[in-house]
């Protein structure tokens, strides 16, 4: 009886990890297509550097500025970089550290003033080191990635400073 219970537990864990891996695969593919459609460059990586989300030490890949970790972001992946209307832009998925990690999509623009206009009043804006960073909101105690349509809308509404 104990063997069957352990086997079932193992199979459930394998199924959950497999589903997470598949989700990251499809998200990376959508982000690559989004980057090419917008004339931006997809850098990657396609999945979190550590899948078990050990948030004790930040793992911020090199193209992102070092101050990103000051926002509480402990890992970043699906990094897209480029220029939109003359403004340097980074779009990436990340997880803010801590016991209750929160998955979010971030859009960082190198401007002192918010280039997003009034259409993003729901989503929080952070200004740090000459950059404006927009990230998704929490809903019912959960946060998740921004959809590609929403990202596309944000980038198309970017106003040149």
Domain count, the chain: 1
End-to-end CA distance of the chain: 67
Q: What's the token pair of residue 74?
A: 């402990």
Q: What are phi and psi of 50, to 5 degrees?
A: -125, 120
> Could you tell me the sign of the dihedral formed by the alpha carbons of 146, 77, 102, 27, in that order?
positive
Strand partners, 79: 44
- Is residue 151 a part of any domain in this protein? yes
- Is residue 25 a part of any domain in this protein? yes
Sheet containing 102-109: order of strands: 41-44, 73-84, 87-96, 102-109, 131-135, 125-128
- Is residue 143 a part of any domain in this protein? yes
d(CA 122, CA 100): 22
- Is residue 145 a part of any domain in this protein? yes
Q: According to the model, what pLDDT value does residue 160 have?
A: 52
d(CA 34, CA 81): 12
Q: According to the model, what pLDDT value does residue 1 have?
A: 65
The answer to whether residues 104 and 93 touch, using CB atoms and an 8 Å cutoff, is yes
Digit-by-digit pLDDT tens for the chain (161 residues) are 667 788 888 899 889 888 888 888 898 999 999 999 999 999 988 777 555 555 555 566 667 777 787 888 888 889 999 998 788 899 998 887 666 677 889 999 988 777 776 555 577 888 888 888 888 776 665 667 788 888 888 888 775 54
Q: What are phi and psi of 73, to 5 degrees?
A: -80, 125
- Is residue 161 a part of any domain in this protein? no
Boundaries of domain holding 27: 2-156
DSSP secondary structure code for residue 132 in this structure: E
Q: According to the model, what pLDDT value does residue 139 have?
A: 65
d(CA 18, CA 126): 34
């Amino acid at each position: 009886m104990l063997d069957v219970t352990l086997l079932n537990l193992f199979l459930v864990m394998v199924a959950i990890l497999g589903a997470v891996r598949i989700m990251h695969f499809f998200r990376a593919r959508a982000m690559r297509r989004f980057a090419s459609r917008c004339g931006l460059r997809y850098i990657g990586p396609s999945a979190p550097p550590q899948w078990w989300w050990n948030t004790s030490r930040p793992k911020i890949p090199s193209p992102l500025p070092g101050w990103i970790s000051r926002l509480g972001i402990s890992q970043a992946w699906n990094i897209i970089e480029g220029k939109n209307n003359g403004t340097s832009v980074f779009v990436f998925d990340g997880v803010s550290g801590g016991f209750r990690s929160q998955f979010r999509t971030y859009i960082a623009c190198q401007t002192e003033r918010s280039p997003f206009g009034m259409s993003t009043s729901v989503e929080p804006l952070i200004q740090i080191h000459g950059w404006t960073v927009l990230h998704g909101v929490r809903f019912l105690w959960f946060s998740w990635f921004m959809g590609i349509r929403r990202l596309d809308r944000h980038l198309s509404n970017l106003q040149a400073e």
